[in-house]
Amino acid sequence: MDFTVQNNKDTRSGFGEGLLEAGRRNPKVVAFCADLTGSLKMGDFAKEFPERFFQTGIAEANMIDMAAGMALSGFVPFTGTFAAFSTGRVYDQIRQSVAYSNKNVKIAASHAGVTLGEDGATHQILEDIGLMKMLPNMTVIVPCDFNQTKAATIAAAEYDGPVYLRFGRPKVPNFTPVDEKFEIGKAQMLQEGTDVTIFACGHLVWKAVQALPILKEIGINAELINIHTIKPLDVDAVLKSVAKTKCVVTAEEHQRNGGLGDSIAQVLAMNIPCPMEMVAVNDVFGQSGTPDELLKAYHLDTPDIVEAVKKVVARKH
Amino acid sequence: MEISQLERIAKQVRRDIIRMVHGCQSGHPGGSLGATDIVTALYFDQMQINPEQFRMDGAGEDMFFLSNGHISPMFYSILAHRGYFPVSELATFRRLGTRLQGHPTTAEGLPGVRIASGSLGQGLSVAVGAAQAKRLNGDNHLVFVLMGDGEQEEGQIWEAAMYAPAKGVDNLVAIVDYNKKQIDGSTDDVMNLGDMRAKYEAFGWTVIEMNGNDMQEVVDTLNQARKGAHQGKPQLILAHTEMGMGVDFMMGTHKWHGSAPNDEQAANALSQLEETLGDY
């Protein structure tokens, strides 16, 4: 993988462009938004397809269930609000009317994690991946940059079934190939290596990319895999990599409980137990600050990944 | 359909409710008995539907959603007698492996059910979504939804109640089963619902009241509501009903909201309900 940064863009803008493209490709794609059209970058879709855009006001429960009602009639509804209000606030609606009823609703969740920044912990949900992955029938996607979020949005629209699509607020390096097809459930190999496997998702993928040359300098040849689909997890890719490297670091902007690391740990414990370290938030809430400050404060930055790798490699021997 | 024939069907549905709930010793007979006349009229007289070829998307037909899913015995009996699935399947209600789950669900693929319900307060929103889908598709058929009155205590109801008039969702008829009882007691004691008519009117709905246990009045009111559709506003029918209707000892109390009759009570109840279409 070429890690050249094409530009700095927010993943939510990738969603906005992907939604517009999905709407152009399929007239059944519709969108709901709970008073956050600007934040979710849904304005272009609303402008081009006004009859297919539904402003719900600040009423997320109603939004989720209306989307379910529209999905059963053959439409492909996307719902848009912050991740905090896309999950915890409407868990029962998603559980009964979307997941259990297996409706083709796409829950687009922006401003996930601490990189939402200054708004603080009320809005910085760090539990959403866990909440969503626990639901039967639910697919959970956490793309890493603008290009991938756009592609993932288009793929979600083409996939038949409930999807939770998680992305974020800040501008981050955009490095994955433009218009690379997004394969739901297929792990993305970013760098092959032999000494350790780093599994990362979302914003932490770039942080892990930045760790690679640092690790190389100290003689650690790391494999980096982007797990953009938390569920269904690409178990084959995980096992194949770990069979080679024999130790693992996971990196995510989420609670350790219920996140990517938790999913990987289950697979490893049942198949090839091995040393593992998790770069994640550990059972605390976030706080106000800039995204960069918060990533440092909660030990979700490149140096934290480097330290975790050093630790886990040492444990292997 | 003749009113007398609808009444005969409703009587059999009530027998089925008692037998189903008694058979598995669980379920919710009170509300089921109270709402029977309304849903019988919808399925056997009012709605344009295709039971023989159930379509999940409901394209080209009227759609019904049961928001207060706990009155599933009534819903299942009516769906079966209307031809969505064999009447004999009513015997499997709430038993392991059944398509007739305690609360309605799509997970087992039961024809006639389009979404799970049971956790309260969600059906009105689902119905609004389905109604908007019909508008997008240029389908002039209507969407009906039945809600409980206790369910009106859920905040989400009022999110949907605000949305539907604001967006002119006028192909929607919502019905509140207004029996003034819920599991813990009378609605006056648990949570005074206040002036339901005024509340919905203030939100922008056209509100019609009816005696939901008088078949002629139910049919007349539903006819009126169908005529009132497509005129810019959603419509709400406040259906005054009696929980436990048709079984004397189940009426006038909330105690049969979610309790099954024993053998003696079931026999007593069935002696009050004539077998009209044949028991399953």
Euclidean distance between CA atoms A132 and A134, whole angstroms: 5
Is residue A106 within 8 Å of residue A63, measured between CB atoms? no
Supply the pLDDT for residue B242.
98
Number of cross-chain residue pairs from A and B with Cβ atoms under 8 Å apart = 110
pLDDT tens for A10-61 read 999 999 999 999 999 999 999 999 999 999 999 999 999 999 999 999 999 9
The two tokens of residue B277 are 């279409």
Supply the pLDDT for residue A26.
98
- Does residue B52 surpass a pLDDT of 90? yes
Q: Count of CB atoms within 10 A of residue B3's CB?
A: 16
pLDDT (average), residues A148-160: 98
Q: Is B35 helix (H, G, I), strand (E, B) or coil?
A: helix
The helix (run of H) or strand (run of E) holding residue B218 is helix B215-227
Query: What's this model's pTM, rounded to 2 decimal places?
Result: 0.97
> Percent of chain B at pLDDT above 70?
100
Q: Please name which of A184, A204, A211, A286 lies closest in space to residue A253, comparing C-alpha atoms.
A: A204
* Probe site for chain B from A54, A65, A94, A98 (most B CB atoms < 10 A): A65
Euclidean distance between CA atoms A250 and A198, whole angstroms: 6
Residues of A in contact with B234 (CB under 8 A): none
Residues A158 and A16 in one domain: yes
Residues A41 and A160 in one domain: yes
Cβ contact (<8 Å) for B136 and A68? no
Is residue B142 within 8 Å of residue B128, measured between CB atoms? no
Beta-bridged to residue B148, according to DSSP, are B177
CATH number, residue A41: 3.40.50.970
Supply the pLDDT for residue B64.
98
Supply the pLDDT for residue A1.
82
Judging by beta carbons within 10 Å of its beta carbon (0-12, 13-18, 19+), is residue A150 exposed, middle or buried? Answer: buried
Last residue of a domain, one of A127, A144, A174: A174
Residues A134 and A159 in one domain: yes
Out of B58, B116, B156, the one facing A101 most closely (by C-beta) is B116
Residues A19 and A155 in one domain: yes
CA-based torsion, B111, B142, B161, A104: positive or negative: positive
Which of A17, A21, A48, A60 is the catalytic position? A60
Residues A148 and A112 in one domain: yes
Please count the CA atoms within 13 angstroms of the CA of B228 that sit on its side-chain side: 18
Judging by beta carbons within 10 Å of its beta carbon (0-12, 13-18, 19+), is residue A160 exposed, middle or buried? Answer: exposed
Active site residue A60: yes
Which residues in chain A (82-141) have CB-CB distances under 8 A to chain B? 92-93, 95-97, 100-103
pLDDT tens for A79-90 read 999 999 999 999
Residues A135 and A212 in one domain: no
In this structure, is residue A197 part of a structural domain? yes
Q: Is the ipTM of this complex over 0.90?
A: yes
A192 band by pLDDT with thresholds 50, 70 and 90 = very high
**Which chain B residue has its CA at the smallest distance from A61's CA?**
B156
Q: Where are the alpha helices (DSSP H) in A57-171?
A: 60-71, 83-86, 91-93, 128-133, 146-158
In this structure, is residue A2 part of a structural domain? no
The count of structural domains within chain A is 2
Query: Which residues are CB-neighbours of A235 under 8 A, at least 6 positions away?
Result: A267
Chain B interface residues (partner A, CB cutoff 8 A) = 56-59, 65, 105-107, 114-119, 121-122, 125-134, 136-137, 155-156, 159-160, 162-163, 166-167
pLDDT tens for A236-285 read 999 999 999 999 999 999 999 999 999 999 999 999 999 999 999 999 99
The helix (run of H) or strand (run of E) holding residue B238 is strand B235-240
Residue owning tokens 């849904």: A42
In chain B, where are the structural domains located? 3-271
In this structure, is residue A33 part of a structural domain? yes
Which residues in chain A (41-70) have CB-CB distances under 8 A to chain B? 51-52, 54, 56-57, 59, 61-62, 64-70
pLDDT tens for B3-13 read 999 999 999 99
* Amino acid occupying residue B121: G
Residues A218 and A286 in one domain: yes
Residues A169 and A201 in one domain: no
Give the CA angle between residues A213, A217, A219 to the nearest 5°.
115
Q: Please name which of A209, A110, A145 lies closest in space to residue A8, comparing C-alpha atoms.
A: A145
In this structure, is residue A179 part of a structural domain? no
Supply the pLDDT for residue B171.
98
In degrees rounded to 5, what are phi and psi of residue B259? -120, 145
Instruction: Report the side by side order of strands in the sheet with A188-191.
Output: A188-191, A222-226, A196-200, A248-255, A276-281
Length of chain B: 280
E strands, chain A, in order:
7-10, 29-33, 53-55, 76-82, 106-110, 139-141, 163-166, 171-174, 188-191, 196-200, 222-226, 229-231, 248-255, 276-281
Q: Please name which of A226, A221, A234 lies closest in space to residue A192, comparing C-alpha atoms.
A: A221
In this structure, is residue A168 part of a structural domain? yes
Residues A126 and A148 in one domain: yes
Last residue of a domain, one of A174, A200, A226: A174
In this structure, is residue A182 part of a structural domain? no
- Does residue B37 surpass a pLDDT of 90? yes
Supply the pLDDT for residue A240.
98
pLDDT tens for B161-215 read 999 999 999 999 999 999 999 999 999 999 999 999 999 999 999 999 999 999 9
Mean pLDDT of chain B: 97
Cβ contact (<8 Å) for A69 and B130? yes
Is residue A249 within 8 Å of residue A199, measured between CB atoms? yes
Is residue A225 within 8 Å of residue A164, measured between CB atoms? no
Residues A169 and A41 in one domain: yes
Is residue A29 within 8 Å of residue A153, measured between CB atoms? no
CATH topology for B3-271 is Rossmann fold (3.40.50)
Structural domain containing residue A53: 7-174
Residues A124 and A201 in one domain: no
Supply the pLDDT for residue A317.
77
**Does A79 lie at the interface with B, CB-CB under 8 angstroms?**
no
In this structure, is residue A210 part of a structural domain? yes
pLDDT (average), residues B72-83: 98
Supply the pLDDT for residue A179.
84
Mean pLDDT of chain A: 98
Residues A139 and A230 in one domain: no
